[in-house]
Structure 1
């Protein structure tokens, strides 16, 4: 059986300047603080709180391992923790265009994350019993992610 993907929301995540850690044992490390953003969709609406960060490791082959933890506050006051782990990679010529500041269409590279959501709010208890997948990309200091529940 092939699982269905059900749209949940779109996250527009505002980032601040990365804290570069440099080359470490596993790759080049950076911490990118999350300063806020919006959440809009058929099942969750609200804002991204000014907490959390994406702890990235960029491997020698250019693959970025993504490991983000942050929180959503819904319009009705629920706080939902977001745990997002995945990867981003692009062809060298696309990476050069991105480094030059060009706005790269999301279809020109791969960025996917596995997402876990958790809350104690009764209205959103369903997120505690589901798995989610996100697809999207980065535009300047903003990441856009479409979140889907895996059915």
Structure 2
């Protein structure tokens, strides 16, 4: 098994909608407002309209559950789903929540990525699993995705 660079993503996000505590944890929804991605075989824009349906756990861990749409540079549409975890020391998580820039090495933020497309040019991607290492900035999530080969 190897990791092959797939694309670097910059996902622009809006202000979270806090739904409060639920039986599964503290729920909030973070809207996806746009962005872009580029890599050796995959590049384009992130369309507004998706979101991250997060669950915040008592220890500060955030369970990531995103769904959004990509438009490739050659005008194909892809559905992207990511699941993952973000956690770290309480003071680092507080800084992130306050919108402060924190080095990505100060916390753990990893994603599992699945793509879907009806476009024949991207069937290879529909049959590919990917992982990513991510970082949170005040207005975006940035991550490097790698295809598992």
TM-score (ref. length: structure 2) = 0.96
Q: Which residue of 1 aligns with 2:3?
A: 5
Q: Which residue of 1 aligns with 2:71?
A: 73
Higher alpha-carbon deviation: 95-104 or 132-141:
95-104
Alignment partners' CA distance in 2, 1:71 and 1:7:
20
Q: Which residue of 2 aligns with 1:135?
A: 133
Cα deviation, residue 102, structure 1: 2.6
Q: Which residue of 1 aligns with 2:57?
A: 59
Task: Name the SS of the counterpart of 2:49 in structure 1.
Answer: strand
Give the length in aligned residue pairs: 149
Alignment partners' CA distance in 2, 1:148 and 1:70:
18
Task: Name the SS of the counterpart of 2:47 in structure 1.
Answer: strand
Query: Mapping of 1:1-150 within 5 angstroms?
Result: 3-150=1-148
| Structure 1 ranges of 4+ moved more than 3 A | none
TM-score (ref. length: structure 1) = 0.95
**RMSD of aligned alpha carbons:** 1.0
